[in-house]
Amino acid sequence: MAEKKPLEASRSTVATIRRRIGFFVRYILAASRSKALGKLLPIIEDSFRHPWVAEVRLQIRFWPGHGLVERSFMHWDAPVAVSVFRRIRGKKRPALCMSLYVTRDILYIKQIQGVSRTDVPRELAAWPKMFMEACRAFAYEGEFKEVRVPRAASLYSYHHPFISPEILPDARERALQRIRKSMEMLYDANALELGFIPDGRWFKWINPMIPQPMAAKRNPANLGWVRSLFVLGAAMLAAGLVE
């Protein structure tokens, strides 16, 4: 039986267009909150304060990656791109990366990725969790309702990782399984260790400073479906469809 993939991981034209539109919409939202998102940078800088780290950058990107407006060293899955640089032979080189996006009251981590052949010092070995914890601290201070981390199996790169087309089928399959296991450790295991709760395609952390009933009040749109039910019920009563 063929492996069933979520639409987000599909290579179909519809899924590709949907990803591009989604990225652009999230870029607009991020750009409109750029000042608030800028407060995430010093939190990550504090988390990664180490002689090995040369710089930490936060950018809001219009396009996922290679080409169009500007070139990038990698393909980004979300518009808010965070890069930790190290210094090699006097030059700053990207080493550890994360991308995310925000809605009104939820922060979604979309991508956590290390650059190939990066030797991370022992003190920074837990860097995926350091990214997650920095986002959690930012969300706590910024009064976001939740922080979410994706399940590895929901990601496009889990189903379609880059594997050299020159290697034999058996070796390709072994490489695929190795990549998937690594991604499950990177996303799923680290999120669970930090206390994130499984919820469908995501693991979520709920901000204890914002009780859920209060969170609903902060965003009246969350109650729109309740109002719709009342309006529908009133209309049915008026029409004599219900007693």
% of the chain with per-residue pLDDT over 70: 80
Owner of token pair 């930012």: 138
Confidence of residue 21 (pLDDT cuts 50, 70, 90): very high
Using DSSP's 3-state secondary structure scheme, residue 76 falls into coil
> With contact defined as beta carbons under 8 Å apart, do 186 and 112 qualify?
yes
Mean pLDDT (the chain) is 85
The stretch 142-149 carries a mean pLDDT of 96
Residue 157 corresponds to which amino acid?
S
Q: Is the pLDDT of residue 65 over 90?
A: no
Higher pLDDT, 1 or 111: 111
Q: Give the span between the Cα atoms of 116 and 125, in whole angstroms.
A: 15
- Locate 12 and state its tokens: 């179909």
pLDDT beyond 90 at 57: yes
The sign of the CA dihedral 233, 236, 241, 243 is: positive
Per-domain residue ranges of the chain: 7-210
Distance CA 149, CA 98 (A): 11
pLDDT range class, residue 14, cuts 50, 70, 90: confident
**How large is the average pLDDT for residues 191-197?**
98
48-57, 100-109, 158-167, 227-236: the lowest-pLDDT one = 227-236
At 198, give phi and psi (nearest 5°). -60, 135
- Containing 86, the helix (H) or strand (E) segment is strand 80-88
Cα dihedral 164/165/170/175 (nearest 10): 20
User: Is residue 145 over pLDDT 90?
Assistant: yes
pLDDT at 178 over 90: yes
Q: pLDDT at position 108, please?
A: 98
What per-residue confidence (pLDDT) applies to 233? 47
Q: Write out pLDDT tens, residues 215-224.
A: 444 444 444 4
With a cut of 50, say whether residue 118 has pLDDT above it: yes
